[in-house]
Structures are given as structure tokens and as C-alpha cells.
Amino acid sequence: MSARLLTPHALIEAGLAAPERLPELEAVAELYAIGLTPALAELVSADDPNDAIARQFIPDKRELVRDPAETDDPIGDDARSPVKGLVYRYPDRVLIKLVATCAVYCRFCFRRARVGPGSASLSPSEFAAALDYVRARPAIREVILTGGDPLTLSPRRIAATTQAIAAIPHVRTIRWHTRLPVAAPERVTPELVNALDAGERTVVVAVHANHPRELTPAARAACRRLNQRGVMLISQSVLLKGVNDDADTLEALMRAFLEARVKPYYLHHGDLAPGTSHWRVPIEEGQALMSVLRRRLSGLALPAYMLDIPGGYGKVPIAAPSIRKDGAGQWIVRDPEGVDRPYVERLGAPRASGDDGGERRE
């Protein structure tokens, strides 16, 4: 398989969907883009109807069912967009949506109603206006480039974008959100990696993967190429029913990230994007899974479980709390094995420093 699969017919011809599914695939394709790279298509087990890779990329007729809670803008980008393509939700950082296309199209994407072929990317003048907005606000220290997938741009445009942002004195961090190292690792060339160079600025690449099988040897080599150039790598994943909603898979995914020199960062609760309810895992189940991971993984491998509040109000951690007060006002801490332990901040009256009552302590 040498080309991207972009249509229902292409998926069927590649043996990734049954011919009788053509009408439903075409109905979904009228609403949401299809795209699957050779690197990920090769991972699909066509004989398994519940294959974790197929579930992420092969259209499903359930995408035509829209829950009343779901919206085209589930995290409220529009409410926080003072100029086209820029989202200013937090005081110290902005998002710039450079492009509206991706190498692959995830079926659960929170921007699925706004990306795909024919969707408008930022024009040069619109990008210049976004940079003017950043220049005028010294509190902004980080620019996050997203879309779509901004690393699908040519190395020349990536370099020009990097240098334009790095020229803003108060911006100290440039972050790129991408699936490219996983979806098309061969495109993470030395030329692309060099294009990310921002001098003394910190460059971060957030790598999106949801199942350990996605982190193939080629994907890990692409991550190493970025890492060796001084790029900081962090992960992003979405908790998805039938893909990674079990502790063993999540543990393997986070360990695979770490082995690829990618720091596990965020595990997102599924956003209320249209036609995605069949992927969303109940919050209580997500919290229980995080409790298991906390017992199994070190802090290096443990992501934060995050919910993006609809309406543009930002992300918050939603893992089950480890500490609470009981009815008597005493702290109770839950240990890694799930056992509650008392925690007392102070016993008795405080003593002056050095007053050990005559007892010497080594």
C-alpha cells in the first residue's frame, strides 16, 4: 500500500472494509473527512471487527447519530478566538490553527466538523494578524501550533513559521501538535527536524497516539530523530471505548511512549464532538483506570486525565482525588493500593526549632 486512502472505495479496495458497507461509508464521508496513511493501514487487522486501529480510522455508521449534547465546537474555540485562527484561552499561551488538513483523520476528532479537504487554512495575512496579536501581549510565553496537523506543512513553511514566532521576544516556547511521527514516520526527515530549530527557544512536539501498536519501530525512530535534535517530546492520547479503555492497554501505551523518549502528558476524556458518543468512556471508568495506572506506573509514565470543559473554559484534571477530609476534619489519603490512610499535619503544640526536649537525633 503506497498511497493514502481517502475514499470509501479506497478502503474497500484495500480490504479494510466490506463491500456491503459502501452506502454507510459514503454517508459518513459526506459529513467527515476520511484519510488513512500506509503506515497505519498496515496495522489494521482486517479479520478483527473490533481492531483498535480500524476503530480509530475506518468510518462507522454510528457517526451519523448525534447526541443532543454534542456540538461542532465542543471545547469552545470560537468563544475564545479574538482573531481568525487564534484561540486565547489561558493567560500565558495561545493556539494558532495553521492548517485544516491532516495526514490521517481520526473518527473521534473534536474538530472533525471543521477539518478536511476543502477546509480553509490560515492565509499569510491571517497568520500575520495572529502574530501581531501575540506581539501585543507580553504575557503570552507559549505558542501552540495545531489545526489540522501543522507538521504536514512543507519543511520550508515549518521553518518560516518557527522563525516568525521565535522572533517575538516574550515567546519562549513553541509547541507543535501532531500525529505525523506515528501516521507517516517517513516524513519526519532531517530537513523537517531542522526546520523546527528555534535557537534558544524551547521547541515541544506533542505526539498523538492511542494504542501501543501505533508506536512501531519506524514511529519510534521518528521520535528519536526529533529528540536528538533537542526537541522535547510529550504525548497526547484520547480515552476511547474499544481502543484503550482497559488498564493493560493504557499501561502498554504509556510504557511505549516512554521507550520512544516521549513523556506521557495528557489522557483526554472524549470531547462532545458530533457523532462520537460510541467512543466515550464514562468518567467513573476513566477515573478507575487512572487509579490502576497510578499503582502500576512511575510518575514519568503517568499521564494526567483531563476534561476540556465545553464552552471554552479550559482543561481540568478529573482523576479521582487521593486525599479528602472525613467527618471529623481529619485528612484521609488513599495509598497506591487503594487503602485509606490517616494523615495528620500536626500533633500537639509546635515547638521552637532546635527544641528537641533534650533528645539528640541523628
Answer yes or no: do 242 and 140 share one domain: yes
Nearest to 174 by CA among 94, 64, 262, 256: 94
- Residue 83 included in any domain: yes
Whether the model clears a pTM of 0.85, i.e. scores above it, the answer is yes
Mean pLDDT value of segment 73-89: 96
pLDDT at 57: 97
What mean pLDDT is predicted for residues 86-110?
A: 97
Residues 253/210, Cβ–Cβ less than 8 Å: yes
pLDDT digits (tens, 9 = 90+) for 317-358: 999 889 999 988 899 999 888 899 999 987 766 666 665 555
pLDDT of 337 reads 86
Answer yes or no: do 82 and 123 share one domain: yes
With respect to residue 331, please indicate whether it lies within any of the assigned structural domains.
no
Is residue 356 in a domain?
Answer: no
Percent of the chain topping pLDDT 70? 95
Based on the fold, state whether residues 125 and 92 are members of the same structural domain. Answer: yes
- Same domain? For 17 and 133 the reply is no
Query: 358 vs 230, which has greater pLDDT?
Result: 230
Name the CA radius of gyration of the chain, rounded.
23
From the list 100, 98, 83, 110, the residue with the least C-alpha distance to 144 is: 98
Q: Are residues 160 and 307 in the same domain?
A: yes
Same domain assignment for residues 49 and 192: no
Using omega within 30 degrees of 0 as the cis cutoff, is the peptide bond preceding 148 cis? yes
Our count of domains for the chain comes to 2
Q: Calculate mean pLDDT across residues 66-83.
A: 96
On the question of pLDDT at 210 being above 80, the answer is yes
Same-domain pairing of 90 and 191 = yes
pLDDT score recorded for residue 118: 76
Burial (CB count <10 Å: 0-12, 13-18, 19+), residue 184: buried
Residue 41: which domain range? Answer: 8-64
- Is 346 contained in some domain? no
- CB distance 215 to 207 below 8 Å: no
CATH assignment of the domain containing 102: 3.20.20.70
CA 294 – CA 287 distance, rounded (Å) = 11
Residue 318, pLDDT score:
96
Active site members: 89-90, 93, 102, 106, 109, 111, 271, 308, 315
Q: In what order do the strands lie in the sheet with 202-208?
A: 86-90, 93-97, 142-146, 173-178, 202-208, 232-238, 263-268, 304-309, 314-317
Looking at the fold, whether 127 and 28 belong to one and the same domain comes out as no
| pLDDT range class, residue 360, cuts 50, 70, 90 | very low
Asked whether residue 53 carries a pLDDT value surpassing 90, the answer given is yes
Instruction: Calculate the average pLDDT of the chain.
Output: 94
Q: Are residues 92 and 216 in the same domain?
A: yes
pLDDT in tens, 238-291: 999 999 999 999 999 999 999 999 999 999 999 999 999 999 999 999 999 999
Look at residue 355 in the predicted model and tell me its pLDDT.
59
Which of 85-94, 163-172, 315-324 has the least mean pLDDT? 315-324
Q: Residue 199 pLDDT more than 80?
A: yes
- What long-range pairs does 128-137 form, CB within 8 A, spacing at least 24? 129/83, 129/84, 130/83, 130/84, 130/85, 130/86, 130/94, 130/96, 131/164, 131/165, 131/168, 133/82, 133/83, 133/86, 133/88, 133/94, 134/86, 134/94, 134/165, 134/168, 134/171, 135/168
3-state secondary structure the chain: CCCCECCHHHHHHCCCCCHHHHHHHHHHHCCCCCCECHHHHCCCCCCCCCCHHHHHHCCCHHHHCCCCCCCCCCCCCHHHCCCCCEEEEECCEEEEECCCCCCCCCCCCCCCCCCCCCCCCCCHHHHHHHHHHHHCCCCCCEEEEECCCHHHCCHHHHHHHHHHHHCCCCCCEEEEEECHHHHCHHHCCHHHHHHCCCCCCEEEEEEECCCHHHCCHHHHHHHHHHHHCCCEEEEEEECCCCCCCCHHHHHHHHHHHHHCCCEEEEEECCCCCCCCHHHCCCHHHHHHHHHHHHHHCCHHHCCEEEEEECCCCEEEECCCCCEEECCCCCEEEECCCCCEEEECCCCCCCCCCCCCCCCCCC
Domain contains 325: no
Do both 216 and 132 map to the same domain?
yes
126-150: per-residue pLDDT in tens?
999 999 999 999 999 999 999 999 9
Do 108 and 59 share a structural domain?
A: no
Give the pairing type, strands 331-334 and 323-325: antiparallel
- CA 125/CA 271 separation, integer angstroms: 31
